[in-house]
């Protein structure tokens, strides 16, 4: 990270009734380095009328504690976060105390690295108070054996929206804030506590929660985004940032998956999970097995919980409607197939509800929370725990551009050898090519920020187009298997789905061949 002051903290939710058990926990008694203190903190958050700061990931606040007033601005999250960890540049200034209401010190805002953006927003539309928070905070100073220093803060209170509705949302959370030393200790502490307490990773800041209440915005599924990889980053730092990005996508979709029936929550968590597994595969050959612990086993477990739910969503919401349309265009098909499709629909709906319940049960479990925290711990470990002086550590110390070029070249060559004749391949072999293409696609998404330019965009699009067609063919094959499982494998409906899947493969031949040739013509962008 840069030399700018940073707030690094691990955010967790904890039911209010469990707070006394946390404060008495034996691990805290061992680490405690001073007396706990309790105070009331009242915060007012500011933004433009069109929420320009929130869109840029910036939070601007004045907080009152007794007679003390402090103005704070927090910048966009950095690439080292994930697994509940947030890391943001943070700047603070004391304001004149005692006033009933404090005015923002705009001159101070102009001194931060993103100050021009702040002053431009202030000059155009002005800042106004948008929402408030009030919490009773208990702070316990902690000292770890390696001299890492941290503060464990328990916040109980609420975030309040603007009048006239004054919508409210309760706050009951734990922040473990790093003062000095290693963020590894924060994860180790959380892992020690989560076995005994109903702690869950909190993916949203108070500012993000306040913004949602003030605007009435419904939570939306979180999609993958390109990872921020600063110039000069080494391979270990890049992999750690990618792991954090994948974890953020997984954890950010957890609440929606539990509370909402929108299938996109499952889909996006599964995408994050697949991306994380692909990233760990990049690191596996360079780190000792103990560094990942049970992480890969836990990811396979979560994949087995999410996979059926996603497959059944696609079958019920995409494939079955397509089959109904196809049967309506067939002579006499609609009349003959409608009862069979209705029966499949009913069985798929029942299985889909059961699969969604199993996915929710997995995300509500302690094992899911340990997975997130263990992933964060892995990313926070210096050099990903590779043995100092080893060839593995030397590889991870390489510039990320060098590491990525070697990796992408290997995967590109492996795929390039397999794609001649792709359109005519039997389904099983084509499926294996799809997996190679998907692994290469994830790797290009991870490392493309290191190689900005038109060639990168062209290559990524060509690869995504080819892999997308292969993915749709795989969905058709999965649908045929599901149709046989949901009904009688020898039934006319199962035969129709099998024939449809085969027809999909035949119909995709021209498009697949065009996509293959476009990919073969795309120049590797890392050379």
DSSP string, 394-434: HHHTSBHHHHHHHHHHHHHHHHHHH-TTGGGS-HHHHHHHH
Give pLDDT, residue 151. 98
User: CA–CA distance from 41 to each of 8, 64, 296 (Å)?
Assistant: 20, 6, 41
Dist. CA 236–CA 147, nearest whole Å: 24
Dist. CA 114–CA 44, nearest whole Å: 21
Counting Cα atoms < 13 Å in the Cβ hemisphere of 262 gives 15
Alpha-carbon Rg of the chain, whole angstroms? 26
Burial 269-285, CB ≥16 within 10 A → b, else e: bbbbbbbbbbbbebbee
Q: What's the distance, CA 26 to chain centroid?
A: 32
Tokens representing 253? 């979709």
Nearest Cα to 209, choosing from 250, 153, 167, 178?
167
Q: What's the distance, CA 45 to chain centroid?
A: 26
User: CA–CA distance from 190 to each of 13, 124, 337, 366 (Å)?
Assistant: 11, 43, 55, 12
Structural domains of the chain, ranges and CATH numbers in brackets = 6-217 (2.40.320.10), 289-521 (1.40.20.10)
Q: Are 285 and 406 in contact (CB under 8 A)?
A: no
Nearest Cα to 444, choosing from 300, 283, 275?
275
291-297 contacts at long range (C-beta below 8 A, 24 or more positions apart): 291/378, 291/381, 291/384, 291/385, 291/386, 292/378, 293/374, 293/378, 294/374, 295/371, 295/374, 295/375, 295/378
180 φ, ψ (degrees, to nearest 5): -160, 145
Tokens representing 94? 């004391």
Give pLDDT, residue 1. 40
Give pLDDT, residue 398. 96
The answer, yes or no, to whether the previous bond of 171 is cis (omega within 30 of 0) is no
Give pLDDT, residue 285. 87
Residues of the chain with pLDDT under 70: 1-4, 79-80, 98-102, 330-336
Classify the C-alpha dihedral 463-469-470-474 as positive or negative.
positive
Q: What angle do CA 404, 407, 411 make, to 5 degrees?
A: 135
């Amino acid at each position: 990270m840069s030399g700018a002051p940073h707030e690094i903290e691990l955010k967790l939710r904890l039911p209010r009734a469990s707070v006394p058990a946390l404060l008495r926990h034996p691990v805290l008694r061992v680490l405690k380095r001073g007396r706990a203190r309790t105070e009331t903190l009242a915060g007012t958050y500011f933004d433009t009328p069109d929420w320009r700061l929130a869109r840029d990931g910036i939070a601007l606040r004045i907080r009152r504690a007794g007679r003390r007033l402090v103005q704070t601005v927090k910048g966009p999250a950095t690439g080292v976060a994930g697994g509940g960890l947030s890391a943001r540049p943070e700047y603070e200034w004391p304001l004149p105390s005692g006033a009933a209401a404090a005015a923002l010190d705009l001159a101070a805002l102009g001194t931060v690295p993103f100050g021009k953006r702040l002053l431009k927003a202030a000059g155009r539309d002005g800042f106004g108070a948008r929402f408030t928070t009030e919490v009773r905070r208990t702070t316990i100073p902690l000292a770890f054996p390696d001299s890492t220093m941290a503060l464990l803060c328990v916040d109980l209170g609420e975030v309040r929206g603007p009048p006239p509705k004054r919508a409210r949302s309760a706050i009951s959370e734990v922040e473990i804030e790093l003062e000095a030393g290693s963020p590894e200790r924060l994860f180790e502490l959380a892992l020690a506590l989560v076995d005994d307490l109903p702690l869950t990773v909190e993916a949203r800041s108070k500012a993000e929660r306040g913004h949602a209440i003030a605007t009435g915005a419904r939570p939306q599924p979180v999609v993958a985004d390109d990872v921020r990889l600063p110039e000069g980053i080494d391979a270990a730092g890049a992999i750690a940032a990618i792991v954090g990005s994948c974890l953020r996508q997984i954890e950010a979709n957890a609440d929606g998956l539990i509370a909402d029936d929108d299938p996109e929550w499952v889909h996006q968590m599964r995408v994050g999970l697949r991306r994380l597994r692909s990233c760990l595969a990049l690191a596996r050959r360079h780190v000792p097995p103990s560094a990942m612990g049970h992480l890969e086993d836990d990811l396979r477990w979560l994949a087995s919980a999410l996979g059926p739910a996603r497959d059944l969503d696609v079958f019920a919401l995409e494939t079955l409607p397509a089959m109904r349309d196809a049967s309506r265009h067939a002579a006499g098909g609609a009349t003959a197939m409608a009862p069979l499709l209705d029966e499949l629909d009913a069985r798929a709906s029942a299985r889909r509800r059961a699969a969604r319940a199993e996915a929710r049960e997995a995300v509500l479990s302690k094992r899911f929370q340990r997975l997130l925290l263990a992933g964060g711990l892995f990313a926070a470990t210096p050099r990903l725990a590779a043995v100092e002086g080893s060839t593995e550590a030397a590889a991870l110390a390489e510039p990320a551009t060098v590491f990525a070029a070697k990796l992408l070249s290997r995967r590109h060559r492996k795929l390039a050898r397999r794609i001649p004749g792709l359109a005519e391949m039997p389904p099983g072999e084509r499926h294996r090519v799809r997996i190679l293409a998907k692994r290469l696609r994830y790797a290009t998404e991870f490392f493309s920020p290191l190689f900005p330019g038109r060639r990168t965009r062209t290559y990524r699009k060509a690869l995504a187009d080819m892999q997308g067609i292969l993915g749709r063919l795989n969905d058709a094959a999965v649908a045929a298997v599901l149709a046989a499982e949901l009904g009688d494998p020898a039934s006319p409906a199962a035969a129709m789905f099998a024939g449809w899947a085969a027809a999909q493969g035949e119909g995709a031949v021209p498009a697949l061949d065009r996509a293959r040739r476009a990919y073969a013509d795309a120049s590797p962008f890392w050379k």
